[in-house]
Amino acid sequence: MKSRKYLIYDVFTDRPLAGNPLAVVVECEGLETAAMQAIAREFNLSETVFILPADNPRHRARVRIFTPEYEMPFAGHPTVGAAVALAEEAGDDGMAGMFVLEEQIGPVRCAVTKGRGASFAEFDLAKLPERLPLTVDPAAIGAALGLAPHEIGFENHRPSLWAAGVPYLTVPVAGQEVAARIRFDNTAWTELAPPKGEGIVASAYIYCRDTVLHDSAFHARMFSPGNPAIEDPATGSAAAAFAGAIVHFDEPVAGSHAFWIEQGIEMGRPSRIRLEIDVEGGRIDGARIGGHAVKVAEGLLFA
């Protein structure tokens, strides 16, 4: 029986037992898809990433990302965690700096700064956010979140559907107190949310400007419907999609804009996601997601 090394990282945090946990399985050449899915189910974390040799020799590695139920074309905290793991496993003289990871969505350029305890990784979005049609009544969205109609929206922000590889229904709410009262109704959400393929519906990304940390620009929560539904403590792919909503509603001037997004606070897993957006002519010209990751465990997988 072949053994494979695995690492557990907490991502989008600079301290252990916070952020979003991730399993990273290394040296996965020859591992079949069904085995990867079974291993992800065994870890039972929101995502598990598998490291494989790159198809292009100029790239650092190919990665495949699995939830316990299905494979994802792209996800933010697995990208950050995989990039940090590869840089740290390479040692002090290894490949930090910039490199490319091959994901199902396409090549993803990453930059890693190794640090003591926690390293920082940032990646370019392989796909810029795109607005998708949405015809759902905001009152129905509020009801599925346990909120009243008047608590949905702030300023000119309204619910909208965006995707930068994975779609999210972004829902602005009146403030942090409202966000804390959310009671996610899995059945109601599944009935109203647009599908994102293979019978899975778009997840809920709730946000407001009212924040816990003084330098955060937005406070967020993310709920993914399923059996059971889950809340995610940090969601990079949702932040990537949310970039579209920021530019659409806030209309920032041309140039680069950086935002810290706090998430996971209600879960006791505080997380910090850095979102950078380049704006040109009122449109997104480029965007990056970044955050820290810290290793909390490692071992051998006999499978």
Is there a catalytic annotation at residue 47? Answer: yes
Selecting among 27, 29, 32, 47, the annotated active-site residue is 47
**Of residues 278, 275, 287, the one with CA closest to residue 239:** 275
* Residue whose pair of structure tokens reads 């779609």 in the numeric block: 167
Distance CA 236, CA 84 (A): 15
Pairing of strands 97-103, 61-66: parallel
Contact yes or no for 111/121 (Cβ under 8 A):
yes
Burial class (CB in 10 A: 0-12, 13-18, 19+), 1: exposed
Distance CA 120, CA 4 (A): 25
Distance CA 63, CA 40 (A): 14
Contact yes or no for 288/164 (Cβ under 8 A):
no
The catalytic residue positions are 47
